[in-house]
Amino acid sequence: MEFILNSRVEERYPFVSPDGQFLYYAASPTGIYNIYRKNLQTGQTELLTNVTGGALMPAVNVEGNLVYACYDSLGYHIYQLEQPKAIDPQLAVYQKNYLATIPEKNFDNSLPHDVQIHDYKQTFGKVHILPRLMLDYGTIKPGFYLVSDDILNKFSLIGGATVNKDMDYDLYGYFQMNIFKPSVFVEVFNTSANIGDTLSISRGGYALKYDRDVNFDLTEARVGMQYYFRSNIKFSLAGVWRRYNAKIYTKPTYDPYRQRWEEPFTFHYNYLKGYAVEFKAIADMIKMDVNKHIAPSGGRYISFFYSREMSDFLEDFVLSGLGVTEKYKNYTYNQFLVDWEEYFTNPFWHSHSFSVRVNAGYIDRKVDSFFDLYAGGLIGMKGYSYFSIEGRHKLILSLAYRFPVWRNIDKLLAHLYFDKLYMGFFFEYGDAWNYLDKRFSIANFKKDVGVELRLNTFSYSLFPTRFFVQAAYPLDEIQNYDGSRKRLINYPQQWRFYFGALYDFDLRERLQSVGHGLRRLF
């Protein structure tokens, strides 16, 4: 065996040129890492960079153009040198006589003869705690996430919790095992919400009003497997268990006619008991470039979701020998969801891009409105309330156009590195409907327009942290019948605003499950 590099200094990130003639690497003979090139035929070594922080991880294409990562006071950057030329090493001296400060490498790193070898045992690393803050229906909801991984990434664990002053809480847990292919996962969430309402009951010649505290408690568990076909296509199959409960506490009520107090009482019931089998396929074939997340300029994103839903939904209460019990109606149906978005580059301004998106859903038989598809809100038509457009069929067409406002911010504020700022405009056209009470008609489709700002940043030079602000205005004034309140709700034309700060700008996959739970809660 012959060493190609074996000096006293640190030599890292070797990269052989495509023609096999040169070895590129990072080394620190002057006290700062720079990129060097060694001719594998002549042995000549050349300095190619002279930075003040550190040049690392070189890579070269067939044309001989060099890219490398540079770390300085603002964090990491990626630079490119076209046909790099040799630099005089005397111009890159950071510390004189630096080699004299490096200790001799006289240690023995051979393997001892008496070493004991053991099979690997799953060992979780340290638990990371991440703070979380939500604004939920006008209340502040603080909480946290817990994250831990096995050393070899064979297991991963995520947990989370939030609670507000009204004792509304959210609990979440996710465990994934990557020992086999496909990988196996278990996901559980429990959410609880409290509301107050008033019930009026006629007592003949007068009505008595009862003040009540109502608690909704939703629990859902999902067990399944997922498989990555290549790196950008994912399949998942899961079984789902659901139990949605409610508790009504009726407060003491004074009856002025009988001149007495009625005792408080508490009533518990289950309003949904369900199971489902879900299949999901996601193909993330968006063009890979520096703007893939903030303004995709090519490729496509396709998501297909199918579920076989089997639910017993509360229809009424009946008297039996055990008292008041629930009467359920079964709803077994098939649900299909498709989300397809194509991305394009503006042929005249290459930094501008636009996209065309189709978002469709279908339920194959009549169901209670509780199970309807919704076409409003952040993941639908943003100019309309989430619950304002519903039905067993859904179709939304979207157009978006994005362009840079500030392409190279390159500023550091505390732990946040500011990268780029983009602006966009969008137009959405769609509807949700039921064939039984409203035939499909283009005339019924709604329209909205909006504007968006996207800010790309990184936390601690490592974690993507992406902010967005959206404002949308509906071009139609609509009405929708609220079955739970048994009245028609008018939705006026007014601006709606959205804000987000997450790891990605695209919230489709995450918020589909959130909206699914919301519609079951309210």
Q: What is the DSSP string of 452-497?
A: EEEEEEEETTTEEEEEEEEEEEESS-EEEEETTTTEEEEE----EE
Characterize the bridge pairing of strands 265-286 and 353-363.
Answer: unpaired
Query: Residue 521: what pLDDT?
Result: 39
**Rounded to the nearest 5°, which phi and psi values hold at 88?**
-65, 120
Q: Could you tell me which CATH number the domain at 118-179 has?
A: 3.30.1300.30
Q: What is the pLDDT of residue 18?
A: 93
pLDDT confidence of residue 440? 67
Whether 189 contacts 170, CB under 8 Å: yes
The predicted pLDDT at position 171 comes to 96
Which is it for strands 463-474 and 139-149: parallel, antiparallel or unpaired?
unpaired
Q: Are 25 and 13 in contact (CB under 8 A)?
A: yes
Beta pairing, strands 411-413 & 416-433: antiparallel
Among 29, 176, 6, CA closest to 100:
29
Q: For the chain, how many residues are written? A: 522
Strands (E), 152-232: 155-163, 169-177, 183-202, 207-229
What residues contact residue 328 under an 8 Å CB cut-off, 6+ apart?
A: 273, 312, 313, 314, 315
- Residue-level pLDDT at 303: 95
Phi, psi of 514 (to 5 degrees): -65, -45
Domains of the chain: which residue ranges? 11-101, 118-179, 290-304+336-522
Q: How far apart are CA 244 and CA 190, in angstroms?
A: 10
In Å, how far are 213, 276, 328, 389 from 309, measured between CA atoms?
31, 5, 15, 22
Contacts of 269 (CB under 8 A, 6+ apart): 245, 246, 314, 317, 326
State how far the Cα of 510 lies from the Cα of 78, in Å rounded to an integer: 30
Pairing of strands 373-374, 390-391: antiparallel
Residue 447's Cβ-side half-sphere holds a number of Cα atoms within 13 Å equal to 6
Gap between the Cα atoms of 401 and 353, Å rounded: 6
Order of all β-strands in the sheet with 75-81: 54-60, 66-72, 75-81
Residues 74, 410 contacting (CB under 8 angstroms)? yes
Q: 3-state SS of 411-449?
A: EEECCEEEEEEEEEEEEEEEEEECCCCCCCCHHHCEEEE
Alpha-carbon distance of 446 to 517, in angstroms, equals 25
- Output the 3-class SS for 284-352: EEECCCCCCCCCCCCEEEEEEEEEEEEEEEEEEEEEECCEEEEEEEEEEEEEEEEEEEEEEECCCCCCC
Q: How many CA atoms lie within 13 A of 145 on its CB side?
A: 11
Q: For 32-70, b where at least 16 C-beta lie within 10 A, e where not — what string?
A: bbbbbbbeeeeeebebbbbbeebbbbbebeeeeebebbb
Q: What is the pLDDT of residue 484?
A: 61
| Contact yes or no for 86/46 (Cβ under 8 A) | yes
User: Residue 239, CB half-sphere, CA atoms under 13 Å: how many?
Assistant: 2
- Contacts with 483 (C-beta within 8 Å, 6 or more apart), sequence order: 368, 369, 370
Per-residue pLDDT tens listing for the chain (522 residues): 678 887 878 899 999 999 999 999 999 888 889 999 999 999 999 999 999 889 999 999 999 999 999 987 767 788 999 999 999 988 888 888 887 787 776 667 677 777 777 777 767 677 888 888 887 777 899 999 998 888 788 889 999 999 999 899 999 999 999 988 899 999 999 999 999 888 888 877 788 899 999 999 999 999 999 999 888 899 999 999 999 999 999 999 988 888 889 899 899 999 999 999 999 999 999 998 889 999 999 999 999 999 999 999 999 999 877 778 999 999 999 999 999 999 999 999 999 999 999 999 999 999 998 999 999 999 899 999 988 999 999 999 999 999 999 999 989 898 899 999 999 999 999 999 987 555 667 888 999 999 999 999 998 777 889 999 999 999 998 888 776 666 788 888 999 999 888 888 877 654 444 344 434 333
Q: What is each CA distance from 278 to 243, 264, 334, 511, 512, in whole angstroms?
A: 17, 43, 10, 17, 13
